[in-house]
Structure 1
Amino acid sequence: MTVLHLADEGEAADLAAFLSRLLHYDRGAAVRLQAAGTALAVFGRPPSFEVLAIRAVRLAKPYENGLDVTLDVTVSAGELLESVEESAATAVVPDAVTGPPWAGVLPPRGGWRPVPGLPAPDALRAMIGSGVAEFRSRTQELAEERRTRAELDRIGRDIWSRTVGDTHLPVRAVHAAQSLGFLRATGELALLSSGAWLRLRTPYGSIAVRRAGLGALDVSVR
């Protein structure tokens, strides 16, 4: 049994909240865990947004029982959530599962450069509010016979595939950040790029997305 000792109760609560939000969008969600020393990265992919969500977790000490240097495993998000003990600030790593395809293609570890043009947090939140309102308005205007899943998905893609300001970041990445609890009222945001990837970084987690049209040359398979 591999035990993770989290830095404190707050860190455990934030991890549990992140896992709960992922499970809201996918009851069978898997997460990939990568840890070295006292840093743990938790990767997940909420299917509604087509992005990669990354939650950094601070550990109080390296994990126990046989893993001396690194941890890299894909597990059930639900089983990991069930093992989180907030009062003790611990979690038990579940048995590995066969990872979904996205778990084998992660953003690069380094080479990130700042990208200008990201609007202020208030403007981003207003953008999401406008997108949600537009989606509701357009779907409510549909005749009953046209209100199909395919048409709803088409409207959603039209709205959430738009880009943020003068950047190439799709609005769905910001929507995902807000839905997963990353876009809070405090803390600075940054937009970074590395190869084919863009990353919206917040103090509470990151959203990464691959830019279209760049092929597979900059994929990091680990």
Structure 2
Amino acid sequence: MQRLQHLVFSDTDTMADLRTLLGRARTVQDGEVALVARGQALAVYVPALVPDGLGSGTPTVLGMRALRLAEPAEGTWVFPLGAVTDRLARMSPLDTSLQLPPAETPASWAGVLAPISGWEEQGEFDAEALRAVAESGIRAVAEALPENAGRPVVASVRARVWAGPCALQPVPELPAGAAFAAQTLGFLPPAGAVKVLRNGPWRRLSTAAGQVLVRQGATL
């Protein structure tokens, strides 16, 4: 079967949404992006926090936004985030066809994505309370980092801060990284409630702007 060369989005506003999401994602973690197409629906997954190996105990925290395609497609692809944002940057604002990068990249987090159906509501978080958790964590990371910290040190500090519990009802054990992802990716509303749902080991923060998917890490 011939490999799909491009994805055609429904309109320029949808392309702008993709640019915004991936641009924000690169400020969080410049890793990979997973694209999952089913007919005219495209789910875009970006990592906010992922384990650095088996048994690390770091939770998986992903942002996801659903976008609409003009032309149906089927498949799952994982690309370097920079490869996709570079193509978007070279496109005209009026273009709705995204040329896919020539090569995919492995990403362990993309091997097991959250289920589509079977979610049960667990209650609601207050958006302002989640924002406060995110801002407190951002300050904690900044204060803990030494000057000219290398990439491994930055990753270690971020994992320690964001793996800690948010300590908010109704799910106090939810990692603070979920609040960070919702805030930084632009998913949190200015005010109001944010639904939290459960499906097996996964939790999901759901807003009109996007979803944050969380799976607790496993320690050996």
In structure 1, the residue matched to 2:55 is none
Asked if the contact 1:34–1:42 (Cα under 8 Å) also holds between the matched residues in 2, the reply is yes
Shift of 1:81: 2.0
Q: Which amino acid aligns with 1:113?
A: E
Asked if the contact 1:191–1:200 (Cα under 8 Å) also holds between the matched residues in 2, the reply is yes
Asked if the contact 2:126–2:191 (Cα under 8 Å) also holds between the matched residues in 1, the reply is no
Asked if the contact 1:177–1:183 (Cα under 8 Å) also holds between the matched residues in 2, the reply is yes
In structure 2, the residue matched to 1:39 is 41
- Equivalent position to 1:13, from 13, 16, 21: 16
Shift of 1:185: 2.1
Q: How does 1:139-158 map to 2 (within 5 A)?
A: 139=144, 153=156, 157-158=160-161
Q: How does 1:24-63 map to 2 (within 5 A)?
A: 24-27=27-30, 29-47=31-49, 50-63=60-73
What do you get for the CA RMSD once the two structures are aligned? 3.1
In structure 2, the residue matched to 1:101 is 108
In structure 2, the residue matched to 1:203 is 208
Runs of 4+ in structure 1 off by over 6 angstroms are: none
Secondary structure class of the residue paired with 1:23: helix
- Equivalent position to 1:176, from 178, 181, 197: 181
Q: Do the aligned partners of residues 150 and 62 (structure 1) sit closer, same or farther apart at CA in structure 2, a change above 3 Å counting?
A: closer
Secondary structure class of the residue paired with 2:189: coil
In structure 2, the residue matched to 1:78 is 82
Q: How does 1:188-199 map to 2 (within 5 A)?
A: 189-199=194-204
Aligned length: 200
From the CA coordinates, give the structure whose radius of gyration is larger: 1
Q: Which runs of 5+ in 2 are unaligned?
A: 51-58
- Equivalent position to 2:7, from 4, 15, 22: 4
Q: Do the aligned partners of residues 104 and 126 (structure 1) sit closer, same or farther apart at CA in structure 2, a change above 3 Å counting?
A: same
Greater relative contact order (Cα 8 A, min sep 6): structure 1 or 2?
Answer: 2
Secondary structure class of the residue paired with 1:106: coil
Q: Which runs of 5+ in 1 are unaligned?
A: 64-69, 216-222
TM-score (norm 2): 0.75
Range that drifts further, 73-82 or 125-134: 125-134
